[in-house]
Structure 1
Amino acid sequence: MQRYSLAAIFLHWTIAILLAFQISVGWALEDLGARGFALFQLHKSVGITILVLTLARIAVRYWKPRPAPVEGGWQGALAKTVHAGLYLFMLGAPLTGWALVSTAKVKVPTLIFGVIPLPHLPLPISAHELAEGGHGLLAWIGIALFLLHVAGALRHHVLLRDGLIWRMMPARSPVLLVLLPALVLGGLVLGKAILPAPAPKAAAAQPAALNAMDAMEGAEAAPAPVGNKVEAADNAATSAADNVAAPEETPLGPPPPWAVQPGGRIGFSVGNGGETISGSFSRWTAKIAMDPDHPESADIRVDIDLASASVGNAYQDGMLAGDEFFGTAAHPSARFVAKGAQKTGANGYRASGTLTLKGVSRRQSIRFTLSGSGDRRKVSGSATIARAPFGVGNGDSSSGLDPSVSVDFSFSAARR
């Protein structure tokens, strides 16, 4: 019996394995939220790979002679229909997926396997729902065709015993007859095996706390994680602290200005389904005037270039700049301004001011410590910032993120 060419056989089984993997992974992505980000990128890479291999399979189909059909009638017509449907599925599913990410509100850059950049298709955002619906529908159709194709192969090999399946084997070997279908099944198993573990259930108190936060007009921050309760309390007490009478002792003159030295850092971290995403801003400036002995006269202003945010992953960095997170096109920077500070310990201080982010201004407090003496000091501190009031992480891909983001900073300053 005439076989398909080795090129056609190789492409057939490779595409089958990749399709099994895609089907296994694809249905779980919708429920993973932010935890499935890396898997989503892999899903896109494998999808484009299937598209390329399918185009190669079509070229081989017309380049190399194919075995003649062995069955006519309605059975032969059904077999041809299933084969044609599979080709449409293998082309249409990757193309609608490509269109889906190209028309999404949040433009996530695509690097095929982290190496080859894939441009977005020039499609209007209004086509997003059509692409999303088409992608889902094709997935169901593809599964049905996949099962019909397998059923047809089993019918010929087990019931008709006509040896048709050997045409798609590189050799008439019982080992290959078991191994190649097993690899397809392995694609299904692998897709399930690499799914992230289920996210831990949130504490019962958390939804109540979030509802309270939404109901409190003008609230300064969301409830902080357990490790940051002190900072959250600082934010909640800001308005009251602003009404406290100024200390009787005041500085004799304006506070001295300080110049921030190179090498400082502003970092951030947020929980993500039991894991932690950490990053930093590489570009920021600070103007500080403060007398450590008279902190009530402090004047602090920090400007952060939001486009410089990075978590060390090109895909996620691209998302940070999008509207779902920082929206850097419309709001390129964030600013924190505080007039005055309070001493909280021997070297500890708290500054209550205003944070402006994505066009929203909210009361915010920071805590920091000073070390050293004289004209050179080291500064380190932290803050806990609620995402929701600023609209940071306002999409489906952010559903697994904790409601509060921890910010830390450290730098050296010299008195001017």
Structure 2
Amino acid sequence: MALESDMKAMMNQTNQEDVDRYPASLRILHWVRAILILGLLWAGWHMTGLDDEVASKFEVYYPWHKSFGLLAILVALVQITVRLRTPRLPQPPQTLARYEQVLSRFVHRGMYTLLVIVPLMGYSMSSTFTLSDGVFFFGVNIPELLPKNDNWFVVFQWLHKVLAYTLLGLIVLHVVGAIKHRLFDRDPRSDVLRRML
């Protein structure tokens, strides 16, 4: 009887651990997307600081930034689709304070929204800029759907920059929160990082 009780407890713990961890597909997409976004943020910051006379600015940085930007939006859309189709996802730990749960939900929704909007603003910049040589996706020319208009280009450029920095701010909050829960919270059940490892 005690053996049967122990077996049930072990099975419940295993099932709980499965629910508390994201599926492998979402964990892989999370880390691939993280590397892409951090690389794009660095490249965007670096390339815009280069003088226009630097050949690599327009021959290397901009084309690759555009290609990886389109890849980032595709990865984000796949991740969102997988999340919506996954019936059992981990819920926020009950050990978190109410404000932490609300902040976490806000940060996640904000990041997912900006992961789609920021690349779209970049695409809109290239599409409307009269001197743009097009939007390439690793050598494939993507149709420019918006009419050429430098006034709109300025608007999209501003939105792309401001929203990219907003995304960076949310990423910092996300990382700080994960570190806080892992290293400083007293209850080990608050460690949300293990769900993505």
Tell me the equivalent position of 1:120.
144
Aligned pair count reads 168
Where do 5+ consecutive residues of structure 2 fail to align?
1-16
Tell me the equivalent position of 1:150.
175
Give CA-to-partner distance per residue, 1:91-129, whole Å, 9 cap, x none: 111000000000102131232112x22111224513211
Q: Equivalent residues in 2 for 1:284-363 (5 A)?
A: none
Q: Please report the TM-score for the alignment, with normalisation by the length of structure 1.
A: 0.39
Task: Confirm whether residue 168 of structure 1 aligns to residue 196 of structure 2.
Answer: yes
SS class of match (2:89): coil
Where do 5+ consecutive residues of structure 1 fail to align?
170-416
Q: 2:80 aligns with which of 53, 58, 61?
A: 58
- Equivalent AA in structure 1 for residue 89 of structure 2: R
Distance in 2 between residues matched to 1:152 and 1:107, nearest whole Å: 40
Which contiguous aligned blocks of 4+ residues in structure 1 show a shift greater than 6 angstroms? none
Q: Equivalent residues in 2 for 1:14-413 (5 A)?
A: 14-32=32-50, 33=52, 34-35=54-55, 36-37=57-58, 38-64=60-86, 65-70=88-93, 71=96, 73-114=98-139, 116-123=140-147, 125=149, 126-160=151-185, 161-162=188-189, 163-169=191-197
Offset at 1:72?
5.0
Distance in 2 between residues matched to 1:157 and 1:8, nearest whole Å: 20
Tell me the equivalent position of 1:410.
none
Distance in 1 between residues matched to 2:106 and 2:135, nearest whole Å: 34
SS class of match (1:111): strand
Would the aligned equivalents of 2:124 and 2:153 in 1 still touch at CA under 8 Å? yes
Tell me the equivalent position of 2:5.
none
Q: Which has the larger radius of gyration?
A: 1
Would the aligned equivalents of 2:129 and 2:148 in 1 still touch at CA under 8 Å? no
Give CA-to-partner distance per residue, 1:145-202, whole Å, 9 cap, x none: 1110000100110011333211111xxxxxxxxxxxxxxxxxxxxxxxxxxxxxxxxx
Would the aligned equivalents of 1:98 and 1:121 in 2 still touch at CA under 8 Å? no
Indicate the percent of aligned positions where both proteins have the same amino acid: 29
Tell me the equivalent position of 1:409.
none
Offset at 1:142?
1.1
Give the strand-richer structure, 1 or 2: 1
SS class of match (1:85): helix
